[in-house]
């Protein structure tokens, strides 16, 4: 398993990162433990979670994924063998995260409470990479990389500088080691970097955004930031929430699949999505490749990529995803991928 630098932290992480958001809802604790064991056997020691998880988010399952990881690390006595990433939610109207029932925001009190609760659930005394799950400020579109810009409604927000100062105090306290962003824009990323440099605060190490064959908006501005500033991408939804596997082709609704279980796939149901997805699935089959493995291998091959987050609901799916690293994206195949992209540009931002 290849490793890459995590920003300028001195840490190296695996090319693939184990995503965990189904654990505690679609997956049981035992199934989560089995996936963790298998990932470690295959050389993946980079694990990503969030206080939000399991997905879909709800009060009854919030924090369950962190708890599952915590019981696994305690049982295996392997905390020092793992690079562990988790996230704090950004501003929202959800009231079940904080003890006093407040809507979430990146205030000092809420950041400290969130870190302490994550540490308790994870049964550890430090987090390797602590990420802002989404911005505290209003943005044009969740994910902060809209294809169509719509002015956001102004609202309350905590300054980036203030957030970074609080995170710096947590680094000094030893509760977190490094800082990352998620669903952030080029402006937001550069603003964090500006304040880090000006005040000697923790430098952002990574940015976790959606990135796939059907959503390459990261390339527009963030790719240059990632490469010049050493803030590499941790890509989520590289399979377009399963659409790029081909399993939903022709309107199929497989039993147990997320589209079948939950009505949360609108990002991948835009007017231009079906034609683009079919084109990529057909291209993979033309080359004798599994569509999911082609999509993952292509994402992993990008020069600004630090790690591709893979998620699965079974060990069999996890094995197939990891095996994608054996796929080579040749110049000829990449040219055909780019040709499809020019015809069907970012239908699912």
Which of the residues are catalytic?
A: 53
* Rounded distance between C-alpha atoms, residue 327 and residue 298, angstroms: 9
- What are the residues whose beta carbons fall under 8 Å from the beta carbon of 20, sequence distance 6 or more? 32, 35, 47, 48, 49, 53, 65, 68, 69, 311
> Tokens for 104?
């979430």
What values do phi and psi take at 254, rounded to 5? -60, 145
* Rounded distance between C-alpha atoms, residue 235 and residue 300, angstroms: 9
Whether the CB-CB separation of 139 and 73 falls below 8 Å is answered with no
* Rounded distance between C-alpha atoms, residue 57 and residue 64, angstroms: 10
**Residue with structure tokens 């996230």?**
87
DSSP E strand stretches across the chain: 3-5, 12-14, 16-19, 46-48, 83-88, 127-132, 176-182, 204-210, 232-236, 305-310
């Amino acid at each position: 398993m290849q490793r890459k630098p995590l920003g300028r932290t001195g840490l190296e992480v695996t090319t693939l990162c184990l995503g965990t958001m189904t654990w505690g809802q679609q997956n049981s604790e035992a199934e989560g433990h089995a996936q963790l064991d298998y990932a470690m056997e295959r050389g993946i020691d980079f694990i990503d979670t969030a206080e939000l998880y399991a997905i879909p988010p709800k009060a009854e399952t919030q924090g369950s994924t962190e708890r599952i990881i915590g019981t696994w690390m305690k049982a295996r006595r392997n905390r020092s063998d793992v690079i562990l990433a988790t996230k704090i939610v950004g501003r929202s109207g959800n009231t079940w995260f904080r003890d006093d029932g407040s809507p979430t925001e990146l205030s000092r009190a809420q950041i400290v409470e969130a870190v302490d609760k994550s540490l308790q659930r994870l049964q550890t005394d430090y987090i390797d990479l602590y990420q802002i799950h989404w911005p505290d400020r209003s943005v044009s579109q969740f994910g902060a990389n809209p294809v169509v810009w719509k002015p956001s409604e102004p609202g309350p927000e905590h300054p980036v500088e203030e957030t970074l100062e609080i995170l710096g105090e947590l680094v000094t306290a030893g509760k977190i080691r490094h800082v990352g962003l998620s669903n952030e824009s080029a402006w937001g990323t550069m603003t964090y970097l500006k304040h880090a440099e000006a005040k000697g605060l923790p430098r952002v190490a990574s940015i976790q955004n959606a990135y796939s064959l059907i959503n390459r908006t990261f390339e527009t501005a963030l790719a240059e930031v990632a490469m010049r500033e050493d803030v590499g991408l941790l890509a989520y939804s590289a399979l377009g929430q399963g659409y790029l596997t081909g399993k939903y082709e022709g309107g199929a609704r497989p039993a147990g699949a997320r589209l079948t279980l939950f009505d949360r796939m609108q990002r991948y149901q835009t007017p231009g999505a079906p034609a683009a997805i079919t084109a990529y699935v057909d291209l993979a089959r033309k080359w004798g490749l599994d569509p999911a493995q082609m999509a993952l291998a292509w994402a992993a091959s990008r020069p600004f990529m630090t790690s591709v987050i893979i998620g699965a609901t079974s060990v069999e799916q996890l094995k197939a995803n990891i095996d994608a690293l054996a796929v080579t994206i040749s110049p000829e195949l990449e040219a055909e991928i780019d040709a499809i992209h020019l015809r069907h540009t970012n239908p699912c931002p």
